[in-house]
Amino acid sequence: MKMHSPPHPGEVLKELCLEPLELSVTRAAEALGVSRKTLSAILNGRAGISPEMALRLSQAFGTSAESWLNQQMQYDLWVTEQTVGKLDVEKLSAA
């Protein structure tokens, strides 16, 4: 039913965390304790948010790690739904 893509967590991170604080990618990566490449990949949607990265974000920005992983989960699920074709699954329960 859901048709359009949930936002990639990297977009949210950029718009809600980096831009309001006027943080450069280089500076933010430094603060998070990861390489500039790693953060850049996330911001540009070429990598997801790992549990460890979620912890880093929560410590740096005072947000919850769950919220980041939740967004990532929604995004991954949407991508998978769009990607995989019909799965050959047999219905098992009555409901």
User: Smaller CB distance to DNA: residue 1 or 87?
Assistant: 87
Binding mask 28-57 for DNA (x = CB under 7 A): -----xxxxxx-xxxxx-xxx-x-xx----
User: Smaller CB distance to DNA: residue 1 or 86?
Assistant: 86
User: Smaller CB distance to DNA: residue 1 or 93?
Assistant: 93
Q: Contact, 43 vs 14, CB < 8 A?
A: yes
DSSP 34-51: S-HHHHHHHHTTSS---H
d(CA 66, CA 63): 9
Q: Contact, 94 vs 21, CB < 8 A?
A: no
Which positions lie near DNA, rule CB under 7 A? 24-27, 33-38, 40-44, 46-48, 50, 52-53
